[in-house]
Amino acid sequence: MIRLFKVKETQKELARNSNGGTPTKKQSAGELRLHKDITELNLPNCCTISFPNGKDDLMNFEVTISPEDGYYAGGAFKFSFKVSPVYPHDAPKVKCIPKVYHPNIDYEGNVCLNILREDWKPVLNINTIIYGLYHLFAEPNYEDPLNHEAAEVLKNDPKAFENNVKMAMSGNYVGGSIYTHFY
């Protein structure tokens, strides 16, 4: 009986497509929710969103954050977002694309943001994540680091940390690692 319904649905779809209509791809619940989230975005002026694969691929996009204040002022930091079809039940996978000297971002681009891990709830949305990322640049957190070296410097000598950030953002070496120019 179940197969019969599946066969009938397939026949209906084929009939619709053979009448000159273009095949319609059914959107997953995650795509529908993501579409809603993106339409309702209320980004700060220093944040932009782009779709490198075109608007047809909403599940993969990039957000650029250009802090106006703090240690990272003047830089532009790009994050890739990969959203699961079961979104919002699973948090998006977010990575910082360029290597950045930051206590909450490791050298592979992994981001330490609680709402992307243990504190994720389906009521949260893309806007919340972007504001969380923005907040990481406004106030880096040395208490929950992925880059322990940067966290120690921030904790013990904020002036040296500021100097290291400037060196890294200028494309220089910091702690044996070379960074991309961010200005």
Q: Which of 75, 131, 128, 69 is nearest to 98 (CA)?
A: 75
Q: How confident is the model at residue 94, as a pLDDT?
A: 98
Token couple for 123: 């009521």
Using the 8-state DSSP alphabet, how is residue 102 labeled?
B
Token couple for 98: 């360029």
Q: How confident is the model at residue 5, as a pLDDT?
A: 46
Q: What is the pLDDT along the chain (183 residues), one digit of tens a residue?
A: 344 445 455 555 555 555 555 555 678 889 999 999 999 999 999 999 999 999 889 999 999 999 999 999 999 999 999 999 999 999 999 999 989 999 999 999 999 999 999 999 999 999 999 999 999 999 999 999 999 999 999 999 999 999 999 999 999 999 889 987 765
Three-class secondary structure of residue 40 per DSSP: coil
Q: How confident is the model at residue 32, as a pLDDT?
A: 94
Q: Which of 88, 111, 91, 107 is nearest to 99 (CA)?
A: 107
Using the 8-state DSSP alphabet, how is residue 25 labeled?
P
Q: What is the chain's alpha carbon radius of gyration, rounded to the nearest angstrom?
A: 21
Residue 96 falls in the annotated catalytic set: no
State the Cα–Cα distance between residues 107 and 156, nearest whole angstrom: 21
Options 46, 47, 96, 112, the catalytic residue: 112
Cis peptide upstream of residue 88 (ω within 30 degrees of 0): yes
pLDDT in tens, 76-97: 999 999 999 999 999 999 999 9
